[in-house]
Amino acid sequence: MKYRINDDFALSRPPEGPVASYIVSFAEWLVGQGYGLVSTRNQVVMAAGFSGWLRQNKIDLGGISGEHPRRYLQGRGQACRPQRGDNAALRHLLDFLRSVGAIPEDVEEYQPSPVEIHLQAYESYLRDARALDRQTIVNYRPVIRDFLHFRFSDGAVSLAELRAVDVTNFVQKRTSRLNIRRAKIMTTALRSFLSFARYHGDITSDLAAAVPIVANWNLSSIPRAISRDDVTRLLASIDRRTPIGCRDYAMILMLARLGLRSSEVSTLELDDIDWVAGQIRVRGNSGQRNELPLPADVGEAIADYLRKGRPRNACRRVFLRDKAPIRGFDGASGLACVIRRCLERAGIDAPTKGAHQFRHGLATE
């Protein structure tokens, strides 16, 4: 049931929490302050989400502090892409609540720490200049926060003071407790941030070159490409008479025939398929869309899933989860679970349990 804010827009459901009764008044206040429709709607949605978070954490109006917006935004950033106006929206909400006497005047406004200020600038760069997807930003964020705290603690952050020894010390101390995959994510994120700092003019030397390379000798002799025979066995083992089987077969066939990354399969949308031209558009790591030919067998598998297996849902993703909430896969881990389950059911001892082995297999052929 929709909750109407004014004649121009409504929320998808009634707001909950201690701020709920002030949401309509907040919208009117924003309009009176001169904000346009889009900005007002975005700020109202943010206020409703913050109110729900307060309710979940059992915080009433009298208990709101300047720390709560920061904690809410940190948690929210794990689920959806941060926007440039998020901080301002919550600051405006607190200003409004003070103006109507809902919270005390002495509630301290949230002031981002020096680390958070640099982190927000870096995230904006990844999102706007590099067009990286949300999951990549989510993976990089904690690494850079940890690095800045490691070097500057909670004091002022002066990137110009960074030296190569700061970078190597951080990597040496952190990699000892990480597995190979997490260590590589850490070093990749660190190189990305240091390149950004140089691009932004905060540092002049190429500190990204000082980030050590994480060795992976323990896997160097193991072939990582799944064989053609194993791919054939795997696809034949999937029961295509079930909705889940139709979906799993189509996804794995796309990996095997087109050499796509797991993210390119899981984020494929209905509008990305051009059935007339026999093409699909996939989103690469940089956010760019590339057009690829759609082989007949892959197209038939996708069409079979759309006709027989895909739940009725407003989500535009082609492949949907089979468990509630019904929506697209959250990331590469969802598709990896599907592959692992199918490999185990088929009794195939594959080089790895993830999606990249299909890409290696196609390249090997």
Q: pLDDT in tens for each of the 365 residues of the chain? A: 577 777 777 787 888 889 888 888 888 888 887 788 888 888 888 888 888 888 888 888 888 877 788 788 777 766 666 666 777 888 888 888 888 888 777 655 556 678 888 888 888 888 777 777 777 887 888 899 899 989 888 788 888 899 989 998 998 888 877 778 888 888 999 999 999 888 888 888 888 888 888 766 554 444 578 888 888 999 999 999 999 999 999 999 999 888 888 888 888 999 999 999 899 988 766 556 778 899 999 999 999 999 989 988 888 999 998 877 788 887 667 888 888 899 889 898 877 777 878 887 777 76
Residue 257 shares a structural domain with residue 354? yes
Residue 244 lies in a domain: yes
Residue 42 shares a structural domain with residue 88? yes
Residue 104 lies in a domain: no
Structural domain harbouring 347: 228-364
Residue 319 shares a structural domain with residue 253? yes
Residue 161 lies in a domain: yes
Residue 160 lies in a domain: yes
Q: Which domain CATH number covers 191? A: 1.10.150
Q: Cα(53)–Cα(44) distance, rounded to whole angstroms?
A: 14
Residue 59 shares a structural domain with residue 119? no
Residue 270 shares a structural domain with residue 290? yes
Residue 108 lies in a domain: no
Residue 268 shares a structural domain with residue 358? yes
Residue 148 shares a structural domain with residue 87? no
Q: Cα(187)–Cα(103) distance, rounded to whole angstroms?
A: 44
Q: What DSSP line would sit under 293-350, residue for residue?
A: E--HHHHHHHHHHHHHTPPP-S--BSSB-SSSS--B-SSHHHHHHHHHHHHHHHT---
Question: Of 182, 197, 219, which residue sits at a domain end?
Answer: 219
* Structural domain count, the chain: 3
Residue 109 lies in a domain: no
